[in-house]
A = this chain, B = another copy of it.
Amino acid sequence: MDLSESARAVFAVLAAAGTATRPQLAAGAGLSKPTVSSAVAELEAAELAECSGTVSGATGRSAAVYGLGPAAGAVLAVDLGPAVTRVRGCALDGTLLAEGTGTRPDAAEVVRHVLKELPTGAPLRAVVVAVGDVITQDAEGAGARPATAKAGPLFDAMAVALPPGVPVHVENNVNCAALAELHEGAARGRDTFGYLRIGVGIGLGVVIGGQVLRGANGAAGEVARLPYPWDGDREPRREGLEEHIGARSLLRRAADAWRDADGPCPRTAERLFALAGEGHVTARTAVGRHAAEIGRLAAAAAAVLDPGLIVLGGAIGADPQLLPGVRAELARLSWPTEVVNSALGESGTVVGAARLAVARGIETVTGGVEAKPRPESGFQTVTGGVRVKH
């Protein structure tokens, strides 16, 4: 466990790539061929990496392909949702090793089940727990407990299933989902955007330069506290906006506008959107109005951050019927900003938590060594005709 600096850098690149040849590792880590060779030898000796075959390009000698070895280990991601608990175990290259879902009280059971399915012998390097609460500070260490008011007891009930001695990190679920959209969702290729989640509550995940913005109190993106209503003669209420834009409010306003001829009044947002999709006039009007309100919320975020892209998610926000209305209101009020729907839906939070857990897990191996890719070459882009042998 005494890796050289260059071996650590190579490991980071290898974990990010999943599998890579030595030339690719050299380009990714900004190291020369001889250095990579010795680093790879070091990693193989520690069983952190292993050769998984060879690839041949169009011409030239075939290159050995390396992947993570058994000692690389795994990480665990837990999404303690309001109703459902989702758990994922991943390798350090991000591949899914085991998965489980359960109702809220079963959290500990699901965690145990997923842990059992992970390869034995490989160390568990990190655990990330996503909760729907403001995270005061990153809680770390064995048995660390988040200082969260709402999610505290739930976290404790789940934590008993975790093996001792593993670093546990707690993160806001909206931030996790934002990270997921960044790396494998609608914001891929960006490095700055806002993830706006509209459901029963509302929240904004802010990603700037590839990093989640947490804020001084861990409350960045808690847009429930935007001043609303805001007008010359009215006093804003604390968390007035959440009440106004949350799912309940949408249903209540739809019910107020509902007429006898409209048929049975929808009792869930899902039903309301379905009716609107079928062309139901009153439902469409309610959805359109709500889209404008969400557009205003997006405009508030854009006025402060100018993120260039806003990804809409959450039980309500993810519905594509909102897009035109949101875009129109945002364009009317603010800067040119793309608006798209979440690409990951409900699983975004676990996926993001897993991303975070993988990053933390890699850090436990590399000790935070950064890789700086070589300026000129970059990864070799193979256009075609790559043959792989195992």
Contact = CB atoms under 8 A, between A and B. Distances in A.
Interface of A: 192, 204, 206, 208, 213-232, 234, 236, 238, 244, 296, 299-309, 332-337
B333 A227 contact: yes
A256 to B, nearest CB: 11
A236 B333 contact: yes
B232 A230 contact: no
Given A236-B296, A296-B230, A216 B333 contact: no
Contact of A304 (B230, B234, B300): B300
Contact of A229 (B224, B231, B302): B231
Q: Sorted from nearest, which 9 A-B pairs have the closest CB atoms? A: A216-B308, A215-B306, A229-B231, A219-B306, A225-B303, A227-B296, A220-B306, A304-B304, A226-B303
Contact of A215 (B220, B224, B299, B307): B307
Contact of A335 (B217, B296, B303, B334): B217
Given A227-B296, A299-B227, A299-B236, A304 B216 contact: no
A214 B306 CA distance: 8
Contacts of A206: 304-305
Q: Which of A213, A221, A226, A309 has the most CB of B within 10 A?
A: A226
19 contacts: A192-B215, A206-B305, A213-B305, A215-B335, A217-B306, A217-B308, A221-B306, A222-B306, A226-B299, A226-B304, A227-B303, A230-B296, A231-B231, A231-B234, A236-B296, A301-B304, A304-B304, A304-B305, A305-B305
A331 B58 CA distance: 66
B309 A225 contact: no
A305 B332 CA distance: 23
Nearest to A222: B303
Nearest to A338: B216
Contacts of A308: 215-217
Nearest to A209: B211
A360 to B, nearest CB: 19
Nearest to A306: B215
A222 B221 CA distance: 17
Contacts of A303: 222-227
Nearest to A334: B225
A301 B305 CA distance: 9
Contacts of A222: 303, 306, 335
A134 to B, nearest CB: 9
A296 to B, nearest CB: 4
Contacts of A216: 192, 306-309, 335, 337
Contacts of A300: 226-227, 300, 304
Nearest to A224: B303
A225 B305 contact: no
Given A227-B333, A304-B305, 13 more contacts: A217-B335, A218-B306, A220-B306, A222-B303, A223-B303, A225-B299, A226-B299, A229-B232, A230-B230, A230-B231, A232-B244, A236-B296, A236-B299
Contacts of A192: 215-216
A342 to B, nearest CB: 19
Q: Which of A225, A229, A306 has the most CB of B within 10 A?
A: A306
A265 B373 CA distance: 65
